[in-house]
Amino acid sequence: MAPSSFGMEGWEFWVVQDGTLKEKLQPLCWNQPQITTCSDLVVLLSMKNLRSTNPYVQKQFEPRGEMYEKYLQTYKNFIDSRSDEEINCWAGKQVYIASAFLMLAAASIQVDSCPIEGFEKEKVEALLNVDTTRLEIQYLIALGYRAKEQQPRYRRPLDDIVKFL
Ligand SMILES: Cc1cc2nc3c(=O)[nH]c(=O)nc-3n(C[C@H](O)[C@H](O)[C@H](O)COP(=O)(O)O)c2cc1C
């Protein structure tokens, strides 16, 4: 139930469970151990080219019923004049929102997670046969149960990061 701007849901989540595939992925992910020791490795992808003319976009607005044209027009004004790069970046941000939901949902059932940005994007996309005209990988999340106790965790104090105006 993660939210997305305009309810676009311009994302896919590919769950790698096959051990052989994980082994092939590991060297493309900085040889990080959690690639092969995790239970499920989620690859988070965003859709490209989400302009208002994209049939996916139009389909996504269909449930709006009589508000369909209004939604499409507002979306068109919001998105269409941006560059491809800006639109793809916007779609990527939505995936990061969903990814936070994914990690919190996992934690709520005591499943641990490790977000992974340490990977070679083009090589992983090639290995997984991602149709890069339509999709791109944002990042990966390893899911499973922790093997040992966690290191101490540090965060900046609340007063440093929150300003009440
Ligand atoms: C987008 C993102 C990418 C990350 N990439 C990696 C990674 O490739 N490998 C890794 O071990 N940790 C990765 N991390 C985890 C961070 O290093 C970790 O959250 C941070 O050091 C704080 O540790 P803590 O969350 O355990 O308190 C990533 C975190 C985020 C949010």
Could you give the CA distance from residue 125 to residue 131 in angstroms, rounded to a whole number? 8
- pTM score: 0.96
Could you give the CA distance from residue 147 to residue 154 in angstroms, rounded to a whole number? 20
Tell me, in angstroms, the distance from the centre of ligand 1 to residue 114's CA. Answer: 6
- Of ligand 1's listed atoms, the one at least distance from the Cα of 150 is 26
3-class SS at 75? helix
> Tokens for 43?
């690859």
pLDDT tens-digit profile, the chain (165 residues): 999 999 999 999 999 999 999 999 999 999 999 999 999 999 999 999 999 999 999 999 999 999 999 999 999 999 999 999 999 999 999 999 999 999 999 999 999 999 999 999 999 999 999 999 999 999 999 999 998 898 999 999 999 999 999
3-class SS at 116? strand
Tell me, in angstroms, the distance from the centre of ligand 1 to residue 109's CA. Answer: 20
Please provide the CATH number assigned to the domain covering 5-161.
3.40.109.10
Q: Where are the domains of the chain?
A: 5-161
Question: Which residue, by CA, sits nearest to atom 17 of ligand 1?
Answer: 115
